[in-house]
Structure formats: structure tokens, C-alpha cells
Amino acid sequence: MTSSNTFSLFSRDLVRPALASAFAKLDPRVQWRNPVMFVVFVGSILTTILWVQALQGQGEAPAVFILAVSLWLWFTVLFANFAEALAEGRSKAQASALRGMKAKVLARKLDQPHHGASTQPRFGDELRKGDVVLVEAGEVIPLDGEVIEGVASIDESAITGESAPVIRESGGDFASVTGGTRVLSDWLVVRIAVNPGESFLDRMIAMVEGARRQKTPNEIALTILLVALTIVFLVVTVTLLPFSLFSVDASRMGSPVTITALIALLVCLIPTTIGALLSAIGVAGMSRMMAANVIATSGRAVEAAGDVDVLLLDKTGTITLGNRQASAFLPARGLSEQVLADAAQFASMADETPEGRSIAVLAKQRFNLRERELSGHKTHFVPFTAQTRMSGVDIEQPDGSLRQLRKGAGEAIRRHVESLGGSFPVDVQAATDDVARKGSTPLVVCDGLRVLGVVELKDIVKGGIRERFAELRRMGIRTVMITGDNRLTAAAIAAEAGVDDFLAEATPEAKLRMIRDYQADGRLVAMTGDGTNDAPALAQADVAVAMNTGTQAAKEAGNMVDLDSNPTKLLEVVETGKQLLMTRGSLTTFSIANDVAKYFAIIPAMFASTYPQLGALNVMHLASPASAILSAVIYNAMIIVFLIPLALKGVRYRAIGAAALLRRNVLIYGVGGLIVPFVGIKAIDLLLSALNLA
Amino acid sequence: MSAPSWILLVAYLVVLLLLSWPLGIFLQRVADGDLPRWLRPLQGLESLLYRAAGVDSSHGMAWRQYAVGLLAFNVLGLVVTYALQRTQALLPLNPQGMAAVSPDSAFNTAVAFVTNTDWQGYAGEGTMSYLTQMLALTVQNFFSAATGIVVVIALIRGFVARSAGSLGNFWVDVTRTTLYVLLPLSMLFAVVLVQQGTPQNLSPYAIVDTLDVTAWQQPKIGPDGQPLQDAAGKPVLEGMQTRQQILAMGPVASQEAIKMLGTNGGGFFNANSAHPYENPTPLANVLQMLAIFLIPAALVFMFGRMVGDRRQGLAVLAAMTVMFVLATSVVTVQEQQGNPLIASLGADQTASTLQSGGNMEGKEARFGIAASSLFAAVTTAASCGAVNAMHDSFTPLGGAVPLVLMQLGEVVFGGVGSGLYTMLIFAILAVFVAGLMIGRTPEYLGKKIEIHEMKMTSIAILVTPVLVLAGTAIAVLADAGKAGIANPGAHGFSEILYAFTSAGNNNGSAFAGLSANTPFYNALLALVMWFGRFGVIVPVLAIAGSLAAKKRIPVSAGTLPTHGALFVGLLIGTVLLVGLLNYVPALALGPVVEHFMLWHAK
């Protein structure tokens, strides 16, 4: 996958098949699907017939001229085909990289759904939903499924491009496995969740190959506009023939316009630039998502991503680093910080959680306290349980007494101390409340019945996230932090991270309600999620990105899957969606604006014999009528080729606010679209004259 | 442009805005059914009308129902207008004994008045009885104006509504618009016109003795009613002279008022507002120009108030004003410049205290260049079509401006209702492309513009150019079409193009050189007028219906701002680009080549 991200735009491997495919797409049934280019296609055939007629001596214009126009019209069609084929080629390359992983897998089907039952060999495509298989180290998981027994490390690099193995185990949010990934150690009993051909991998392949690519609503709306413009320009050119006949009659000079010139004018006027590139833009958008390691289940979802108004983001992992870290020691009255630090470090010695480690690290940083050799003491570790909600260590002192060090939530320690006959000091209670109010987590440490103080565990907001949110705000997107924390904690972190709103003590129901409320206001909501309890909210959200590490239920509910399982990816998804629409809009504007210059080239040329006075409109001083018409047609064809890179890469999105962005794009593509063809047509005309071709 | 021309234009715009602003507030209250207290006495009459017609005024209509009601109402108007013309000889109030109007002319006129076009192939004072003028033509002037206004009200309701199925009640809208807006304004204006000298009577035509003997030549008419031709194909002329003059009379002021206020433009007399009875004084002339734009401008203010954001209305108004000033200045400059061919004959065309100078062919000396140019721009920017000078005699580019203003779809203030709804269609189009350019599904006034809206927008934008171009093409191919041309060469083409442009956009003004009162033109132009009107109205109502059903999206920093200079520029660009590109080749073969021939003759 990672390798497929780096296809250069015009690499030889892509260009050569695309060239072949450009000719294969000359099939009328293929052309019919793109109404604008179909008109060019018919025009090419007509001019070819006119050329054959001219060869037989019945030409309406010199055969060479008709041939030149005809050839360039064919090139226009071919360039459009090439653009589409090139975009599809990139997707196909990505798909074939995926398909490589779909090698036939021999799986071991379990007769009973538990480890140790007898197994039978089955090919991956013989398995059905609900079957249970055993996968051991070195084997490939045959199909998507859920781990029902066992723990194993898995290499998912084939899908995610991430080389570090991940752990999958039964129960909880890490039970989902993807077909095509390899078990590195241990074994898993997996219940298959899909039938062959419906797996995640299959869907990905179908998606990127474009086999299931349907036009998105917005693309259809744009196509309607383009078809309307094509019809109106068809009427403009068709009626021009009677107008010309009348004018010849009225001015008693010259000859009527030729069919060739009319077809040339028609092709120049209809929006061929956007018409030729429209489908390439769509395919490329999908492909860009793919390059960002996001798989969208529909183009509609990609498009909707550009419209998102509200982003719901999980606090943990998205806004803050996954783990809290100890940031301060707040000793009880009369004690030094060092005493507290020392005790806290002791109590955390056996605590391998990141929070526990961070306490030891902080103690070392602050007081250079090293983790002590414990062999000299008889120690007994007290692990965290849901009942006590404390952990710690019992140390047998040289005098035989037992030193009981505990750390835990304030309430838990209070109960513990009071049960031993001690009391919970008022100043420690105050410190606990203070810490909570700041959005941090207080951890109280006690030695026997003596409360030593509070360790502040702080949520660390990710670097740069505040700037990202500011950027989103400029894009008009509201950010909402979702957290299970209480309101105080949530408010403090929300303020620090710079989100617009937060949902504290979030339950699945509360999330769902919040999404519905926003939607009722007419807003489009995006969210990320991974757990099964996120599934209802994911299903309700307009753009729902499920983490690849998430449960099968979450993945089914979402309309995109992030292979990297990186929740900040949502921002890239939004940008890609916007890029897709922007590229379409900008090229449409460019295409229509181009018509002005083309008129200035063709109109004086067409009526040169009837109304030589119209030569005053030949502001570009094109050499001859034939060269003027030909230059316009050549420009019209070549501009497609020049814009292929832009169509595939997309117009860059900048978070500078709607008005500024519009001003910028109107300047570049609107005003630019007015000017560029004047330069281009003139240049082609000069070239044609220099080569004595016209 | 000379200082007086500028002063006239600026003063005109200032007074217009000062008058239309309060009217816009009033219109909004009428449209929203929030009638001012002082109107309460009239409400009894209103409910009486509903009871008589069996209308349930509280019934909300879905767009289809609204459209069916509107079409039925207009078809009924068509039948009545046709029937009255055909039977006028048998009916009262016909002191001059006018005969029944011919079937094709009656049909053409009926369509013209129902569609707010008021294209006139006939001469009023020689064709229509007073009853026909009052009951058929004046009544349709009211109803066609009301039709345009209710369509734009329905469209705006579509933007305002949240997930609603109804656009309001057509019968209620049309009744209120007529009763509370058009009737009072027209009565007021008619009284002012009578004060200025416009007749309002039912007397027979007056015959007066003139001071001089008037002598003239006219084509001799053969027994078949067609001009006789000599061997060379030139018309045979006969010398005439008289000491008497017939002065046409009639209920002129009442029709004149709604002709302007409803942007109808159908004159009581053939000379329209160039006639001294229709447009007696320079003050009346200015008031008539104000009356044309009054309701269209007020509707824009109403729009801003109805959607709850006055800046939206101001943006549309700004776009209209910019285009209007541009158009007026081009006409004025071109007309003031005069005609080099006349100059070469030794005529003095420079402006001085004694004369207005410029190209005075076809203009009233009492109006001069400035007021004639302004009137031409006003009447074609709106879908009025009344004229106080003959557009056919304008300089090529001076005459091209009215042509172009119509071809843009008459969105520069435009017809009552039709101007604004067409402009909003352009706004939807501008927003669609601009919305894409900033990476969002386009939305206008909080409503998403999606497949259905684009389909209907495309139809609305496509209908008129197709009708105009196809109609012109048929006319220049057919012998019957070419027979009507008065001037040879490119100007003959311009005349035909102008006729179809005027009909397709429901303007009604003409390059009068074209003899269009023939079965061929009467039939073809009637078709173009009918589909040019309702081929746009029905898709507009369809858009209103689908917009009404949508949620209204709140504004955010990512929303495309549709007020402010950028959007105004974008809207103007869209109107010019989409409106004009279709007509470039036709314009090149008409006025543009005429211009080069006139000024760059070799």
C-alpha cells in the first residue's frame, strides 16, 4: 500500500496502458456516458466524413483544412479518454497491490468454536460467515472476523503500511481482525464475519477499481449544467447556419459558413475542458483518499466530507495523547514534596501503566530519585482492582512492621484511610478539588493511615492541535470534544485545546442525541469512532470514519475506514472532499471563461468573406481565417492535456475563509480563464504560421 | 456622457430608491399576510371575493398545485382577451365602430398581454374598441403583472420555508397583489397622468381643423390590402393632403398607469409613450420611467426583508444598478455621438443650448438624447417595452444595448416579479459554481442547491435563448419571415433578432421597421412569448417547491457570503457570461457588423 502511494503522475507504467485505453474508449457506448464529449465524438466523425467528401472533390473547404480540424477533434476526444484512463490506471495499480494480498489462503476450520477442537482444511473462499477458524503464528487470516479466543500479535502492514505489529485479543475493542493480515506470534480463534467477496479487502478493491463508482450527487448536478450549456451552444451553432445564409444574401458577398467551421466553433464553445476531466477528477479524488490510507465506501461520503460543519472528536487519542502524565507533587501540610515523591515512586514501582511510569519519571526528574533495588526488602505488590480502586505496595520494614503505600482516587483513599482509623486532611481535599478543576486527574498517596499528598496527572494536549482547530474554525467547521470525563475536567481540556464545544460524561445515547440535534439544525456531522458503543453514533453521522483497529460493528456502521487508525485523519478527509469540489468548480469556471477568447478567434474568421468589417474583432491578429479556427481547436484540445495534472492532484485547499478562497479562485480560474486562451491561441497561431501550416 | 445626462441618471436612481424602499416594506407585509391596520377595511372586500369564488384562503398549495392554478388563471385570461377582440364589433363602448380583430392578430395580442409582453402588431387607435382596451388589455395588464409578482413571492417563500410543503395560496397571493398593490398605485398614477394632460374619456375621436395644409406621400394600397408595387418592385406612392386631423381619444390614463407600473408596455396608441397623449410632458416622462422600475426595485427590498437579511437584497440591487448604469451610459454615449453619415451631409449633431445634438432620428425633440436613451435602457432592462423613441432608428450600438439588456433575461431590475426571479435563478447558478470553487455543496440563503434545482435552473436558463435563436433562424429562412423586413442588409437581421428577443423575453418593444402583423409572425411570436413566459415560470415554481422542502442551513465561516462586493461582481459576471455568450454570433451579424460598417466604412 505504501508503495502504491508514491506513483508519480506520469510514470511510464501508467502512461502506456492509459494510451492504449484512450483508444479503446472510443467505443460509442463508452462515449455516450459523457454527453459533452459525445458531442465532440460525433463532431469528429462528421468532419471525417466531410474530409472524405473533400477528397472526392466535393469539399466545402480545402481538404487539408478539414483534415486538420478533424484530427484535432479526434485528439480532443482521445485526450479526454487519456485523462480518465490515467486516473483509473492509478487506482487500478492501487487495487492490484491490494489484490496481491488476496492469494489463496488455506485455513483451518474448527469443528467446535474453541481452541483445541479438531480442524479441517478449507480454502479461504470456501468459508462462510459464522465459521470459526484457528490461525496460528506464521499463518494468514483468511477473512475479516472477530477474535473469540486467544491473544496474538499481528502484522497489518499489508493493509496499513505500518510495520509495527499490533495486538489482537478476544473481547473488547481490539477483537477485530482483517483478512489478508498475518499472525506473527501465538494463536487466535476467529469467527468469520463476512462471506468471501464481501470482505473489507474486496470492498476496497472494488472501490478503487471504480467498478462500483457511481456518479455522486454533486457530479450529477454539475453534469446537468454542462449538458444544458452544451444544448444551448448546439442551438447557437445550428442557428448560425441560417443566420449566415441570410447574411450572405443580405450583403451579397462571400459564402456561407462551412459545416467544418461550425463544428469547430461548437466544440470550442461547449465546456470540453471540464467535460473531459470530470470523471478523472472523481476517480482521482477517491485515489487521493486511498493515498491518505482512508477507504471510503462511497464517493458520496467523500463529497459529503467537504461539507462537514461539525466535527466530533474523541478526547483521548485525538485531542490529548492517549495517556495522562504526572505533572506535579502536591504534599499534605507539613510534608516536603520529596517525601511525597519518594512514596509515590515506591507505590508505582510495580505499576506498568503509562500513568504509573510517568510518576516514577517525574520523581526522578524532580529529585533525582532512582528506582530502588527492592531485593533488600520483602515487598508485596497490591494490584489495582475495581473494588478497591487503589494500587500500591506493602513493604516489610527491617523492624518487621508493614509499610502500606497506596495510591488511588481521592474517594478510594479516604475510605481506605478512614477504615484504618485515620482521617482525610482538609488541605489534601482542597488540593484534590483544585487539580480536578484544572482538568487534571488527582491521585492521592497514603502511607498507612497517613495521607501524604496528591499527584497531579495531567492530560497532555497534542502539540499543534490548537492550530489545527483554529484552522478548522476558519474553514467554518465547529469542533466538539467528546469525553467520558466530568464537566470540570472536560471544560479545562476543551479550553486548553481550543475546541468550540465539548460533551462531558458522554454516553452512546448522549452522542447520538447530540448528532441528531446538530443535524436537525441542518448541519453535517462528521465523527470518528472505534468501539462497538460508537456504532449507533457512527451510523447516524453524515461522515463516519471508523478506525481500522476498531470493532467490526464500528467499521460496518461508518462510511469510511482509516487504515492508520489516526483520529486526526478526519481533517485530511475533509480537505480531500473540499478539494474534489473545488477542482470541479474551478475547471468549470475556467472552461466557460475560455469561450470569450474563442469567440474573438472564430467569429471574425467565420464571416471573413461575408462581413470583412468584422475583422476589427480579430484582436489577436491571427494570421488567416483557417489558422484562427485551427488555433482555437488546437488550444481547446491541448488545454485538456495541460490540465490533467491539476485534475489528478486537485486544486489546493487553503483554510483562509470562504470569501478569500473564492476571491483567489475566481482570480486564478475566472480571470485567468479569460486571459490564458488569448495568449494560447495567439501562440499556436504564430507557431502554425512559422511552420507554414496554415 | 454630458453633465445633464449624468444628472438625469443619478437623480432618477436616487428618487427611484427613495420611493421603492418604503414600497418594499409594504410589499413584504402584503406578501407575508401581515397587512397594515389601514388596509383592514379592504379586507372585507377581499374575503367577499374568496367567498364568491369558493376559495379557501387558508389552504396552502404545493408547487404543482400553485403552478396549475397559475396556468389555469392565465389560460382563462387568454381565452377572454381573445374572445373580446373577436367580438368587439358586437359589444358596447365602440364609438369608432372598430371591426373584429383578425384571428391571428387577436391570438397574438391575447398571448402578448397575458404573458406581460404586450407585443403589439396592431395600432391601438385603429384596431381596438374602448371596451377591448379596458376589459381585455388593461385587465390583463393587472393580472399578468400580479402573476409575475406572485411567482417571485413563491420563490422567496421557498428560500425562507423550513421543511415545508406549501408555497402559499395562489388565489390569495394574486388577489392581494392586485387589490392592495397594483390597483391603488395605478389609480394614483392615473390621476397624476390626467393632471399632466393624458385623456381619460369614452368620447368619439375628435376631428379638428389644422392651421396648415399637410401634404404627404403614402404607398398606394391595392384591393388585396397590400401595398401596390411597380415593375421595379418599388411601392407605388400617391400624393395626399389634408386640412383636418383626427385626434384619437379614450380611457388612456387608466391603461397608461398600469402599462408602466406592471412593466407591460402595451401602448393605448401605436406611437406608445412617444405619443403626446400617452406621455404629455417631460415630467410625465420621468414619472413613467420611475413607474417602470418602481415595483421591480421594491421587490428587491422586499426580498431582503422576507429572507431576513437585508444585505441579500442590497447585493442583488447593487448588481442590477451597476449593470443599469453601464447600459444607460453606453446608449447615451452612442446616441449623443450621432451618425457619421448624417454628419457628412452637413447636419450639425453637436449638443448646444439650442439642441440636444446627437442622433435624433426617431426621437421626440421634447425628450432629446438623454431622456430617450434613459427611457430605452429602462424599458428594456425591465420587461416593459414601452418606448418614447424608435429603437429601430438608434445607432447600431445604441440599439444593441436594449437588445442585450433583453437577452440577459431582463434581470436588470427586470419585469415585475420576473426580473427578480430570473435574477435569483442567475444567483443560484453563480452560487453553484462559486460554491464548488470553495469546496462545499453550493447553498444559497441556507438552501442546498442540488440535482433537482440544477435541472430546473438549466431549463429556465435554456428556454429563452433556444426560443429566440430558433425563432430568428426560422424567420430568416422562411420567405414569409423575410417579407416583413423594411431595411436591407445587416439591419434587417437585427430587426428580426430584436423581434424574437423581445418576444422570448416578454418585453414587447420592437425595431418597428419589421412588419410583424402577418399570420406568420403573429403565430410564431405568440408561441415564443407563451413558452418564454411559462417555460420559465414553471421551473421557477418547481425550484421554489423543492427549496421549501429543505432544511435551512445555518451560516458559518465556511459559507459562501452572498452579500458584499465579491458576490455582486460574481453575479454580474455570471449574468454577462451565461446570458450573453449565447447571443454573441447573432449580435456579431447584426448590430456589431452594422457598427463597423457605419464607422469603419472603407
Could you report the per-residue pLDDT of B438-463, keeping only the tens digit for each? 888 888 999 999 999 999 999 999 99
Average pLDDT over residues B23-44: 91
Cβ neighbours of B35 (radius 10 Å) = 16
Share of chain A above pLDDT 90, in %: 29
Task: For residue A376, name the pLDDT band (cuts at 50, 70, 90).
Answer: low
Q: What is the pTM of this model?
A: 0.85
Quick check: A146 pLDDT over 50? Answer: yes
* A236 touching chain B per CB within 8 A: yes
B469 near A CB under 8 A:
yes
When scoring A216, A233, A236 by the number of chain B Cβ atoms within 10 A, the one with the most, hence best to mutate, is A236
Grid cell of B108 as nine digits:
397574438
Which chain A residue has the Cα nearest residue B550?
A: A522
pLDDT score at A78: 96
- For residue B283, give the amino acid letter: L
When pLDDT is cut at 50, 70 and 90, the band that residue B601 belongs to is: low
Query: Inter-axis angle of helices A410-419 and A426-437, to 10 degrees?
Result: 160
For the stretch A397-444, pLDDT in tens is: 777 788 888 888 888 888 888 888 888 889 988 988 888 877 788 889
pLDDT in tens, A163-172: 667 778 777 6
Helix axes A259-269, A217-251, angle to 10 degrees: 150
- Chain A contact set for B572 (CB, 8 A): none
pLDDT-derived band at A4 (thresholds 50, 70, 90) equals very low
Question: Which residues of A548-662 form beta strands (DSSP E)?
Answer: 560-562
Q: At a CB cut-off of 8 Å and minimum separation 6, what does A466 contact?
A: A496, A497, A498
**A422 and chain B in contact, CB less than 8 A:** no
Antiparallel, parallel or unpaired: β A525-529 and A543-547: parallel
Q: B435, A657: Cβ pair inside 8 Å?
A: no
Q: Would you place residue A365 in the very low, low, confident or very high pLDDT band (cuts 50, 70, 90)?
A: confident
Confidence of residue A6 (pLDDT cuts 50, 70, 90): very low
A592 to each of B317, B360, B510, B573, how far by Cα in Å? 25, 40, 31, 11
Q: Reply yes or no on whether the pLDDT at B322 is more than 80.
A: yes
Distance from CA of B387 to the nearest CA of A (A): 28
**pLDDT higher at A667 or B235:** A667
Beta-ladder partners of A316: A320
Helix, strand or coil, per DSSP, at residue A484: coil
For residues B142 and B262, is the Cβ–Cβ distance under 8 A?
yes
Burial class (CB in 10 A: 0-12, 13-18, 19+), B602: exposed
User: What does chain A come to in residues?
Assistant: 694
- B435 interaction partners in chain A (CB closer than 8 Å): 581, 585
Q: Which of A596, A653, A663 sits opposite B566 (nearest CB)?
A: A663
With a CB cutoff of 8 Å and minimum separation 6, the contacts of B184 are none
Q: Say yes or no for a CB contact (<8 Å) between B558 and A309.
A: yes
Dihedral angle of Cα A295, A298, A299, A305, to the nearest 10 degrees:
-70
Q: Spell A193-215 as b/e; 16+ CB within 10 A means b.
A: bbebeebbbbbbbebbbbeebeb
Q: Which residues of A touch B564 (CB under 8 A)?
A: 659
Q: What is the pLDDT of residue A2?
A: 37
pLDDT value of position B2: 84
Which of B433, B492, B597 minimises the CB distance to A589? Answer: B433
- Give the whole-angstrom CA distance, residue A132 versus residue A119: 10
Q: How far is CA B20 from CA B287, B302, B317, in A?
A: 13, 10, 11
Contact A653 B573 (CB under 8 A): no
B347 compared with B363, residue with greater pLDDT: B363
What's phi and psi for A479, nearest 5 deg?
A: -105, 135
pLDDT of residue A267: 97
- Across A312-338, average pLDDT: 82
Number of H helices, E strands in chain A: 23, 22
Which residues of chain A lie closer than 8 angstroms to B466, CB-CB? 231-232, 235
Catalytic residue chosen out of the listed positions A314, A459, A534, A562: A314
What phi, psi does A65 have (nearest 5°)? -65, -45
- Which runs of E-coded beta strand occur in A467-570? 478-482, 501-503, 525-529, 543-547, 560-562
Which of B436, B451, B552, B575 to substitute to test the interface with A, most A CBs within 10 Å?
B436
Work out the minimum CA distance from A421 to partner chain B, whole angstroms: 59
Q: Which residue has the higher pLDDT, A457 or B25?
A: B25
Q: How far is CA A79 from CA A23, A34, A276, A363, A502, in A?
A: 10, 14, 8, 68, 50
Cα of A630 vs its chain's centroid, Å: 42
Chain A, 244 to 263: residues with Cβ < 8 Å from chain B are 244-247, 250-251
Q: What residues 556-585 of chain B have any CB closer than 8 A to a CB of chain A? A: 556-561, 564, 566, 570, 573, 577-578, 581-582, 584-585
User: Of A246, A613, A657, which is closest to B597 when you measure between CB atoms?
Assistant: A613
Q: Please indicate whether, in this complex, the C-beta atoms of A242 and B477 are within 8 angstroms of each other.
A: yes
Determine the Cα–Cα distance for residues B89 and B99; give it in Å rounded to an integer: 5
pLDDT at A211: 43
Residue among A251, A225, A363, A142 nearest A609 (CA): A251
Q: Is A584 on the interface with B (CB under 8 A)?
A: yes
pLDDT value of position A102: 61
A233, A251, A476: residue with CB nearest B556: A476
Mean pLDDT of B456-484: 94
**B582:A232 CB<8 A:** yes
A500-542 pLDDT per residue, tens:
999 888 888 888 899 999 888 878 899 887 777 778 888 888 8
Looking at A6-15, A211-220, B510-519, which range is the least confident one?
A: A6-15
Checking if the pLDDT of B188 tops 90, the result is: yes
Residue A212 has a pLDDT of: 47
Mutate to test the interface with B, among A307, A311, A590 (most CBs of B within 10 A): A307
Segment A461-482 mean pLDDT: 83
Q: Which of A228, A579, A617 sits opposite B461 (nearest CB)?
A: A228
A658/B557 CB distance under 8 A? yes
Question: Is residue B28's pLDDT more than 90?
Answer: yes
User: Closest residue of B to A578, CA-based?
Assistant: B439
Which member of A222, A584, A662 has the closest CB to residue B560?
A662
Per DSSP (E only), the strands in B475-550 are: none
Residue A316 has pLDDT above 80, yes or no: no
How far CA A615 is from CA of A60, A255, A371, B361, in Å, comes to 22, 16, 93, 29
Q: Which residues of B483-503 are buried (b: 16+ CB within 10 A; e: fewer)?
A: ebbebebbbbbbbbbbbbbbb
The pair phi, psi for residue B229, each rounded to 5°, is -125, 145
Q: What are the residues whose beta carbons fall under 8 Å from the beta carbon of A216, sequence distance 6 or more?
A: A282, A299, A300, A302, A303
What is the phi-psi region of residue B413: left when phi exceeds 0, alpha when psi lies from -120 to 50, beta otherwise? left
| Interface contact B354, partner A, CB < 8 A | no
One-letter amino acid for residue A55 of the chain: L
C-alpha distance across the termini of chain A, in Å: 50
- What pLDDT was estimated at residue A297? 73
Mean pLDDT of B237-255: 91
Taking 50 as the threshold, does the pLDDT of residue A5 lie above it?
A: no
Q: What is the dihedral of CA B54, B59, B60, B66, to 10 degrees?
A: -10
CB atoms inside a 10 Å sphere around CB B38: 7
What is the pLDDT, as a whole number, of residue A694? 55
Q: Chain B within 8 Å of A609 (Cβ-Cβ)? A: no
Best residue in B440, B454, B485, B514 for a mutation probing chain A (most A CBs within 10 Å): B440
Instruction: Note whether B596 contacts A: Cβ–Cβ < 8 A.
Output: yes
Q: What is the mean pLDDT of residues A182-198?
A: 82
**Whole-number Cα distances in Å, A530 to A540, A550, A554, B331:** 15, 4, 6, 68
Binned at pLDDT 50, 70 and 90, residue A374 comes out as: low
Q: Give the gap in angstroms from C-alpha A43 to the nearest C-alpha of chain B.
A: 20
Is A485 one of the annotated active-site residues of the chain? no
Q: What is the CA radius of gyration of chain A?
A: 34
pLDDT for position A533: 73
- Half-sphere exposure in the Cβ direction for A404 (13 Å, CA): 12
Instruction: Categorise residue B361: left if φ over 0, alpha if ψ from -120 to 50, beta otherwise.
Output: beta
Mutate to test the interface with B, among A478, A607, A611, A654 (most CBs of B within 10 A): A611
- Element housing A374 (H / E): none
Rounded Cα–Cα distance for residues B191 and B254 (Å): 8
User: Does B481 reach chain A within 8 Å, measured CB to CB?
Assistant: no
Residue A177 main-chain phi, psi, to 5 deg: -125, 155
Residue A471 contacts B, CB cutoff 8 Å: no
Measured distance CA(B23)–CA(B17) in Å, rounded = 10
Between B433, B557, B588, which is nearest A474 by CB? Answer: B557
Indicate if the pLDDT at residue A228 is higher than 90: yes
Let me know: does A209 contact A96? Beta carbons within 8 Å.
no
Query: Is residue A159 a contact partner of residue A99, using CB atoms and an 8 Å limit?
Result: no
Mean pLDDT over residues A300-317, rounded? Answer: 82
The better pLDDT of the pair B306, A354 is held by B306
User: What was the pLDDT predicted at B12?
Assistant: 97
Q: Rounded distance, CA A307 to CA A94, Å? A: 27
Could you read off the pLDDT of B528-566 as tens digits, one per residue? Answer: 999 999 999 999 999 999 999 998 888 877 788 899 899
The confidence band for B216, taking pLDDT boundaries of 50, 70 and 90, is: confident
Residue A61 pLDDT:
87
